[in-house]
Structure 1
C-alpha cells in the first residue's frame, strides 16, 4: 500500500489496546452494581457509588497522558513508554480478573494499574505513527486514516466479545476482563517481537532532545496573534467540556439505562447491554468519511462553517440524542414491563456520534492550528484536561440520578408529565443535559464571530480535493482517538 511496514505494526498494537480498553469499559459499571448474591455476582454497589467510581477512573485516564507524554519526551522515549504502559495495563486487566467478584480492594489496584499504564501508552503511540514519515511526506495523512480504522475496529469488536463473556452467568464478569487482558498482552507482545524490525529507531530517542535541536534553544515572546488564538482555546474549553460531559454518559448512566430500562430481547436471545458500546465506533466508521466529504463540498461553494459553528452543530446533535432517551422514558410508561425499546438507545448513540464528528476532529485540528509551536504540548495538555474534567463532572451528575427522584419537586414535575416516580431521576438528568447542551450552543453561536476574529485566519488553507480532506479529517480523529477514545 506504499507505506512503511511499521505503520501496520502500530495499527495492530493500537487495535488490541483499544479492544482491551473498550472491552473493560463496557463491563466496569455493570460489574460494580451487580449484586453479590446474583447469578453473575459483582460488588453490590449502588448506581450512585458505581458512577462516582467510574467518574474518578475515567477522569484520571484522561489526565495521566499529560504526565506520561512529558516523561516520554523528557526521559524514556515513546517506544519504551508504549511497552511500559501496555505491560501495566495488561497487568491491570489480569488483576481485575483475579479480583472479581471477591476483593474490591484488589479491584482498585487493577484500576490503578490501568490508569498509570494508560498515561504512558496513549500519548505516545500516535506520535510514532507520525515519526515514520519525514516532514511534508504526503503519505502521512493517509497513514493516520489507516491507523484510525484500527482504533475503531478494536473499539467495535471489544464489547461484542468481552460483554458476551462477562454478562453471561455461565462465565461471569471476570472472564470479560480476562479477554481484555489477553488483548492488551497481545499488543505488548507484538511490540516486543517486531518493533525493532519494522520501526527501526523510531520512538527510541526522547523528544526533548530532538525539539531542542530544532529550536536552537532560543525563546521568543508571544505575539498578539498568538495571544488572541490562546483566548479562543480557553473560551472553547468551556463548551467542549460540556460536550464531553454529555457524551461520556455512554459508559455510565446510558450503560445502566441499557441494562435496567431497555427491552433487549430479540426472539429468545437477550442482547448484552455492553453491545451498545460498539455503536459509537460502528457509526464513526460509517459517517466519518461522509463528514469529511461534506466539509470539502461546502468549502468548494464557500459555505464551509467556521470551527465554532461546527461545534455549535455538534452540541445540538448531541442534545437531540438525549431527546431520544427522554422519548424512551416516556415509552417506558406505556409498556407492560416498564422498559423502552432498543431503538431509542440506537438513535441516541447515532446522534451522539454525529455530534462527536462535528466536535472531536474539528476541535483537535483547531488546537493544532491555533497553538504556538513552542506551546504545542501545553495546548494538547489543555485538550486532554477537557475530557478529564468532563469525565469527573459527568460521572457525578450521572450518579445524582439515583437521588434526584427523592426530591419532592422532581417527583411532582415527573408525575405531571405522566412519568413514574422511580423514573423521575433519569428523566431529569437526560432532559437537563439536553437543555444545557442547547443553551451552550446558543451562547457559542452568539460569540462565534468574535472567536473567528481572534483566530486571525488560522483555518485558511483548505484542502485541495476530497481525498486530501478525507485524509486530514481521519488524521485528526485518529490522533484524538488514539489518546482518548474513545477512543473516546
Structure 2
C-alpha cells in the first residue's frame, strides 16, 4: 500500500517529481534572469552602465551563449552516463552555475568577469540540464500514461522560475543597475542547490527503496577508463583559451563565430548521430527510434530558431516599438519576457488535462501530431508579429500597443506546450538505455542550433531597418508552415517505427 502512495503522492505522480521541479524552477530563475537582460545590457551605453555593443554583435552573443548552453549538454550527458551519474553531475553543474553568477555580480570591476561568468554558466548547465530531465523520465515506466503529464508539470516548474526572474531581475536592474540585476539570479541558483541536496536526493533514495528505480540516477551507466584525465585536459585547454582572450591576444568576432557555429554544430550532430546509429551496439528497434529522433531533431531546430528570438527580436521590439507607459510609469522591457512563462503556468494544466481526457476516451493525440501542432501555433505567433510590424510602419515608426506582443506570446506558448515538454517526454521514452544521457544531449543540441540562428536573426531589429521588420517575421512563418506540411506527411511512417507511441 505504501508503494502505491509514494508512486502517486504528488497529485497522482511520483513523490520526487515535486522537489525535482522546484530544483529546476530555481535553476531556471537564474538563467532567465540573465536571459531577459543580456542584450539590453550589452547595447546600453557606457554611461548607462552597459557594454555599448552594436545590436548584431550583442544579439549574436546572446545566440552564442544560449547555443553553447545547450551544446554543452552533449558532453555533459556523456560525463553523466560514463563517469559522474545523474546525481553528481547535477550537483557539480549547480555549483558551476552559482560560480558563474558570482563572477557576473563582480563584473562591475571588469567586463572580462561578465564573459567569464557566462562560461561558468555554460559549463554548469551542460551538466545540470540533461540530468534533471533524465531523472524525471526515470520516475515512470516506459508506457506509463502519466509520463507526458508529468513532464508538463515539470515544465510548469521551469516556467514559474522563468516568470518570476524577469520581473525581479528587470526591476532590480532598472532601480539599482545592470550588475545587481544580472547577479541576483545567483540567489536562485543557491536555493536550487539546497533543494536538490537536502530534498530531491532523499526523495529519490526513498523512491528507490520502496518503489524501485533505475540505478543510473545515482551512478554511471558504465565507467569509461581515463575519462577524468581527458576531462581535466579539456578544461585546461579551455582555461588557456579564455585567458588569451581576456588579455587581448585572441580577438573574436561574435557574428562570424555564430555563422561558423551553425555549420559546425549541424555537421557534428549528424556525425554523432551516425556514430550512435552504426557503432553504439544498438538493436534494430533502437535504430528505428533514432531515425524518428533525427526527424524530430530537424523539426525542433526550426521551432527553436523562432522561439529563441524572445530575448533578441522580441525583446528589442518591446524596447523600441512598444508603448510601455502605464499611468505615467514605464514598464521595464525585461518584464515582457515573463509573458510567455505566465501563459505556460496558466495554460499547462489545461493542456495536460486535455491530453489525459483524450487518452481516457481512446482518442489520444500522438506525440508526432503534438509536435506538428506546436509548429503550426508558432507560425501563427510570428504572423501576429508580422502584422505588428506593419502597424509600426503604418504609424511611421511610432510605438504600438503591447497587445500585439501579448497575443503573439499566447500563440507561441501554445506551440511551446505542444512541442517542448512532449519532446522531452518522447526523448526519454525512446532513448536507448545505454546512451540515454547522450540522446538527451543531442535533443538539447536542436535548441543550441536554433538559438544560434535566432541570435543572428534577432539583431536585425533596428530603427534604421524598420522596413525589414515584416519580412523578418514573415520569413519565419513561411519556414514553419513548410516544416508542418512535411511532418504531416511523415507522421504515419514515423508512428509505425515507434513502439512507444
TM, length-normalised to structure 1: 0.78
Q: Is the 1:80–1:204 contact (alpha carbons within 8 Å) kept by the matching residues of 2? A: no
Residues 94, 177 of structure 1: 8 Å contact kept:
no
Deviation at 1:302, TM superposition (A): 5.6
Deviations 1:32-66 (A, max 9, x none): 1111123xx20011110011001111011011122
Q: Is the alpha carbon distance of 1:141 and 1:256 closer, same or farther for their aligned partners in structure 2, counting shifts above 3 Å?
A: closer
- Residue 500 of structure 2 is matched in structure 1 by 458
Change (3 A) 1:290 1:381: same
1:187 alignment partner in structure 2: 192
Could you tell me how far 1:87 is from its partner in structure 2?
A: 1.8
Compared CA separation, residues 357 and 381, structure 1 to 2 (3 A): same
1:236, distance to aligned residue in structure 2 (A): 2.4
Select the residue among 207, 221, 245 that pairs with 1:208. 221
Deviation for aligned residue 1:435: 1.6
Partner of 1:79: 87
Please name the residue that 2:53 is paired with. 45
Counterpart Cα distance in 1 of 2:351 and 2:433: 28
The secondary structure found in structure 2 opposite 1:328 is: helix
Over the residues paired in the alignment, what is the CA RMSD in angstroms? 3.2
CA distance in 2 between partners of 1:94 and 1:131 (Å) = 32
1:308 and 2:368 are equivalent in the alignment: yes
Q: What's the offset of the Cα at 1:158?
A: 0.9
In the other structure, the counterpart of 1:177 is 182
Question: What corresponds to 2:322 in structure 1?
Answer: 262
State the match for 2:384 in structure 1.
324
Cα distance per residue 1:324-351 (max 9 Å; x no partner)? 1122112223448711210011111111
- State the shift of 1:377 in Å: 3.4
Question: Which runs of no fewer than 5 residues in structure 1 stay unpaired?
Answer: 212-218, 403-419, 460-488
Give 3-state SS (helix, strand or coil) of 2:308's partner. helix
For the residues of structure 2 that align with 1:90 and 1:437, how far apart are their CA atoms?
Answer: 37
**What's the counterpart of residue 165 of structure 2?**
158
Q: CA deviation at 1:134?
A: 9.3
Corresponding residue SS for 1:263:
coil
Q: CA distance change for structure 1 residues 143 and 391 in 2, over 3 Å: closer, same or farther?
A: closer
Aligned counterpart, 1:105: 112
Name the residue aligned to 2:349.
Answer: 289
Q: In the alignment, which residue of structure 2 is the partner of 1:384?
A: 444
Which blocks of at least 5 consecutive residues in structure 2 are unaligned? 1-7, 209-215, 225-279
Instruction: Give the SS at the match of 2:33.
Output: helix
Deviates more, 1:173-182 or 1:326-335: 326-335
How far 1:135 moved relative to its partner?
9.4
Deviation of 1:140 after TM superposition, in Å, equals 8.2
Cα distance in 1 for residues equivalent to 2:303 and 2:472: 15
1:350 corresponds to 2:410: yes
Residue matched to 2:78: 70
Q: Comparing 73-82 with 61-70, which one deviates more in the overlay?
A: 73-82
Alpha-carbon distance in 2 for matches of 1:396, 1:56: 9
Output the CA distance in 2 between the equivalents of 1:232 and 1:145: 22
